[in-house]
Amino acid sequence: MAAISQTSNLSSSLRSCGRRNHTRTLLDSSLSFPHSLSLLNLNLNQKLNPHPGKQPSLVYGAPRASTDVVDYDRILEKEEIGEEKGRALRVGIICGGPSAERGISLNSARSVLDHIQGDDLHVSCYYIDCNLNAFAISSAQLYSNTPADFDFKLESLAHSFQTLSDFAEHLATAVDIVFPVIHGQFGEDGGIQELLEQYNVPFVGTGSSECIQAFDKYKASSLLRKHGFTTVPSFLVQGYETNKLELSEWFQRHQLDPNQGKVVVKPTRGGSSIGVGVAYGVTDSLSKAKEIMSEGIDDKVLIEIFLEEGSEFTAIVLDVGSGSDSHPVVLLPTEVELQFRGATDVKEKDAIFNYRRKYLPTQQVAYHTPPRFSLEVIENIRKGASLLFQHLCLRDFARIDGWFLPSSCCKLSSSESEFGRTESGTIVFTDINLISGMEQTSFLFQQASKVGFSHTNILRSIIHHACMRFPNLASISGISGHVPSRSKSSQLNKSLPHCKGAQKVFVIFGGDTSERQVSLMSGTNVWLNLQAFNDLEVIPCLLSPASEYGSGVDMVKEVDNVKNRTVWSLPYSLVLRHTTEEVLDACIEANEPDRAALTSYLRQRVMNDLMEGLKDHSWFTGFDIADELPTRFSLGQWIKLAKEAQATVFIAVHGGIGEDGTLQSLLDAEAVPYTGPGSIASKICMDKVATSLALEHLANSGVLTINKDVRGKQELLNKPTDEIWHELTSKLKCETLCVKPAKDGCSTGVARLCCSKDLAVYLKAVQDGILRIPDNSLSKAHGMIEMPNPPPELLIFEPFIETDEIVVTSKNKDETGRSLMWKGHSRWVEITVGVIGKCGSMHSLSPSVTVKESGDILSLEEKFQGGTGVNLTPPPLSIMSEEALSKCKQHIELIANTLQLEGFSRIDAFVNVDSGEVLIIEVNTVPGMTPSTVLIHQALAEQPPLYPHQFFRKLLDLGSERSM
């Protein structure tokens, strides 16, 4: 009964929780996997697919019951409805595509969706797969954590179009304008643009013929030379029979050693990251080129000289002109600094800004906006990128990459008349990106926020500018700039008096555990989503690492040390980084007087340039990001400020003091409300042994615990490994072990050990304090294992629980799609499930079964950063019955209430698919809250569904209402 009443409470409270849920339009009732597949039969043949015969099919098992019903006649006649309401603008987001960057495309589309919706703008979502098949998808499907996860659910949750022509015909009547968010092939090479042009569908961005020229690096380089720009010497490889002698002559002509000369090898039409690498000498260059071609990335490859000692930069260009008059303004460029911390391999030091460094958290890259160049160089970069935008006839926006080569190291031959020559060096433009990445922390948002644009403001400005090319759209009265009613200030000591009516929210993230980068992603996502609510003042805050904080025995000093830890109140633009180290460096850099003065000056220059064009556009209502510096506090001061402001603290610090009860205890002492469980529950759940002890009395109620053996680090290091292995396997009665730190996050330091040699490797890693164990260092295949820092003093050993492997397989050659294979011998599967509610009445969300594509234990990357894995939410009927699922959720709620959880948490467990019995693994009181986390999938499976901004608002409200 508790579960039923809690569900009812959730449903009723959410009706008033979000102001944007009614703007979700297309296919929104097929929100989760595998909700209501019957809706796909409602008028789809007539409305979306004029060619019957290709119907979606359920490949994984029978769907669960659902009451969702969608009236597609109403949805697909939105045009008439829009006219009745004053013509709300209908935007179609198209993502996916055949390139290897489609995972980034999904992330970009999700980000665009999150930030452009409003009462005056309705969004429909579409997807192009690797084979150029088009689908109408639910907006919820964009929250899939990986391309594999997305593709697996595609057949059951999307509707396919018979041909691209059918797709274009649909767009011509269903949307007002298309926002293509396809990176690489078909998105930036003119493919999607040509299709839209053929059917007179308005779209954002550059036209097809111009895309063809700009996307091909060889053609673009030729055009740049023609217009007087300095370019990088290159050699074009076409086909496998390239003349090796010609390439050797090219090496010699440019004074490169034919055996070891460094060059960059890149596909001519492969985007800015995929397939780009460094080669050494003629033979290696041709080998890398053929590898690109054999992998199907491109059939033409460029070999360019490696720009030694140069600094890479990237610049966003925004067109603010009217009609056909182009007025490109270059925002503040970003310098890309590659950092090599202790790298000894010379080839690693020659590395480039590749796909991994661009899109995943790494300390090998730091960004500086504006660049640390002279004012003359920065202004010339802006001038050059603006001219290039005009010469190539680009539209709306673009990202242009290049290099600055100091005079002392530049070996490029160029005439005095060529653009890019300055007193201090040479500017070279190398890549034109027609559809810049639009993930939450992308260059577009980093640079836009530096000159006064929020995510919403810059994206809507781009869309509105595109609409001006089409008279029937430019006159739509319903659209507006949608600029928030108040400036998004983030300085705590200045913002508080200005917004007395708004509830203050301090979102804290960071710390110094191995999960700190995930924490940054979580905190950034929460902060951005909560900004959807005008009654909130949301302030992002970084908990800095604390090298002075140790495990001292004096508890009074320990508490004082914690209170003295540093918290930074962050300006909008400084949050948008990939690592906590980068955020911290940016805070310190921003407070340097000379740096602050230069940034302020350039910001004003850019804003003046922007306003020269924007002042003529009625839809633009102003900039909405204030120019601020980060502010530093001690943790103690920060908590007192939260109390003074009557703020609620949203905790997004994974591991360490954010999850072990320390931060919660400090907030309790000052009666400051916060999200998640209280200090006692947090402390118990952080200690995996304490968690088991707290639950062991529930064995007769269907909640089981795993036997554990806890060993100290010194004991383990002082005894022979074979002896320890024999003791552990004998005591735990198992052949393989799972090892994990006694007190750390959900993935850190967790490994499967199959023999004493594996144990030796793991203990050596603990002894040496290494940050990560490389892939496949143990006897059974695995991914990279992130290790705790500092090394754990206590380790837990438990039997490795064998579950039946669930495999995603392709169907026979004459069929399409994928299906699940599961033998079901052991009858146990691994699940993760969120719980939400008040203490004593926690509600279980729908559990997720994760299908791993490699290894036995999900890595941090797999769980939170869009790595691998397919999440089935809820478990399909072919695996788990309705009755077993209901019992499972009851057991999960029993666990949550026994541990006195509140707010929200995530419980990892094994479940018996017949009985619903649960074997507890661990409880995470500050679970991942990244854009693709499984908790988002589970929230979307609720009735009614909770979109991310609604979900985080619900968690915030639960925190604000907690009894102190």
The DSSP line for 92-130 is EEEEE-SSTTHHHHHHHHHHHHHHH-BTTEEEEEEEE-T
What are 309-319's pLDDT values in tens digits? 889 999 999 99
Residue 809 pLDDT > 70? no
pLDDT at site 56:
29
- For residue 235, how far is the Cα from the chain centroid? 36
pLDDT at site 103:
84
DSSP letter, residue 498:
G
pLDDT band at 355 (very low <50, low <70, confident <90, very high): very low
Cis peptide bond N-terminal to 741, omega within 30: no
Q: Determine phi and psi for 544, rounding to 5 degrees.
A: -75, 155
Residue ranges with strand state E in 586-639? 631-634
Residue 835 pLDDT > 70? yes
Q: Determine phi and psi for 882, rounding to 5 degrees.
A: -60, -40
Mean pLDDT is lowest, of 380-389, 735-744, 920-929, for: 735-744
pLDDT band at 483 (very low <50, low <70, confident <90, very high): very low
Per the CB < 8 A criterion, the answer to whether 303 and 243 are in contact is: no
The two tokens of residue 122 are 């309705």
Number of H helices, E strands in the chain: 35, 35
CA 36, 958, 644 angle in degrees (round to 5)? 150
Residue 2 pLDDT > 80? no
For range 230-248, the mean pLDDT? 87
Query: What are the angstrom distances between the C-alpha of 851 and each of 72, 146, 220, 776, 804?
Result: 33, 12, 43, 20, 11
Nearest to 402 by CA among 339, 273, 310: 310
3-state SS assignment for residue 318 = strand
Q: How far apart are the C-alpha atoms of 208 and 211, rounded to whole Å? A: 5
DSSP letter, residue 703:
E
Higher pLDDT, 266 or 8: 266
**Start-to-end CA span in the chain (Å):** 27
pLDDT band at 823 (very low <50, low <70, confident <90, very high): confident
Higher pLDDT, 703 or 44: 703
pLDDT at site 722:
93
For range 361-381, the mean pLDDT? 83
Higher pLDDT, 956 or 351: 956
Residues of the chain with pLDDT > 90, as a percent, come to 55
Quickly list H helices, 670-720.
679-686, 688-695, 713-718
The average confidence (pLDDT) of the chain is 81
Q: How far apart are the C-alpha atoms of 402 and 311, rounded to whole Å? A: 9
Nearest to 760 by CA among 720, 710, 727: 720
Q: Regarding beta strands 794-799 and 737-741, do their DSSP bridges make them parallel or antiparallel, or are they unpaired?
A: antiparallel
Nearest to 458 by CA among 433, 478, 477, 440: 440
Residue 18 pLDDT > 70? no
Helices 662-669, 555-563: inter-axial angle, 10-degree rounding? 80
Place of tokens 């080669």: 279
pLDDT at site 942:
92
Higher pLDDT, 201 or 365: 201
pLDDT at site 485:
39
For range 680-692, the mean pLDDT? 93
Residue 489 pLDDT > 80? no
Residues of the chain with pLDDT > 70, as a percent, come to 79
Q: How far apart are the C-alpha atoms of 413 and 225, rounded to whole Å? A: 12
pLDDT band at 36 (very low <50, low <70, confident <90, very high): very low
DSSP letter, residue 647:
P
3-state SS assignment for residue 367 = strand
Q: How far apart are the C-alpha atoms of 583 and 578, rounded to whole Å? A: 8
Q: How far apart are the C-alpha atoms of 460 and 468, rounded to whole Å? A: 12
3-state SS assignment for residue 714 = helix
Q: Which of 3-12, 273-282, 601-610, 873-882 has the highest mean pLDDT?
A: 601-610
Element (H, E) at 907: strand 903-912
Q: How far apart are the C-alpha atoms of 642 and 647, rounded to whole Å? A: 5
Q: How far apart are the C-alpha atoms of 495 and 629, rounded to whole Å? A: 13
Residue 164 pLDDT > 90? yes
Cis peptide bond N-terminal to 361, omega within 30: no
The two tokens of residue 954 are 């619900």
Q: Domains of the chain (ranges plus CATH)?
A: 89-205 (3.40.50.20), 214-439 (3.30.470.20), 467-481+501-547+559-677 (3.40.50.20), 686-705+804-925 (3.30.470.20), 709-799 (no CATH)
Nearest to 491 by CA among 591, 412, 615: 591
The two tokens of residue 682 are 């947090």
Residue 495 pLDDT > 70? no
Mean pLDDT is lowest, of 39-53, 157-171, 455-469, 909-923, for: 39-53
pLDDT at site 42:
27
Non-local CB neighbours of 214 within 8 Å, separated by 6+ positions: 206, 220, 223, 392, 394, 398, 432, 434
3-state SS assignment for residue 355 = helix
CB atoms within 10 A of CB 430: 21
Q: What share of the chain is helix, strand, coil (3-state, %, to 5)?
A: 40, 20, 40
Higher pLDDT, 869 or 712: 712
Q: How far apart are the C-alpha atoms of 433 and 449, rounded to whole Å? A: 20
Quickly list H helices, 468-554.
471-474, 492-495, 516-530
Q: pTM for the full model?
A: 0.84
- For residue 647, how far is the Cα from the chain centroid? 27
Residue 148 pLDDT > 80? no
What are 289-305's pLDDT values in tens digits? 999 888 888 888 999 99
Quickly list H helices, 439-592.
443-450, 455-467, 471-474, 492-495, 516-530, 555-563, 572-575, 580-590
Residue 861 pLDDT > 80? no
Residue 10 pLDDT > 60? no
The two tokens of residue 100 are 């290897």
Q: How far apart are the C-alpha atoms of 410 and 309, rounded to whole Å? A: 8
pLDDT at site 298:
84
Per the CB < 8 A criterion, the answer to whether 605 and 627 are in contact is: no
pLDDT at site 776:
85
What are 455-464's pLDDT values in tens digits? 999 999 999 9
Q: Determine phi and psi for 539, rounding to 5 degrees.
A: -120, 115
For range 860-874, the mean pLDDT? 58
String of DSSP letters for 561-590: HHHTSEEEE--HHHH--SSHHHHHHHHHHH
Q: How far apart are the C-alpha atoms of 404 and 421, rounded to whole Å? A: 10
What are 119-145's pLDDT values in tens digits? 889 999 999 998 999 999 998 888 887
Q: Which of 740-744, 860-864, 931-935 has the highest mean pLDDT?
A: 931-935
What are 390-449's pLDDT values in tens digits? 999 999 999 999 999 988 666 665 555 568 788 888 999 988 999 999 999 999 999 999
Residue 210 pLDDT > 90? yes
Strand partners, 543: 510, 567
Length of the chain: 964
Query: What are the angstrom distances between the C-alpha of 839 and each of 670, 888, 904?
Result: 20, 19, 10
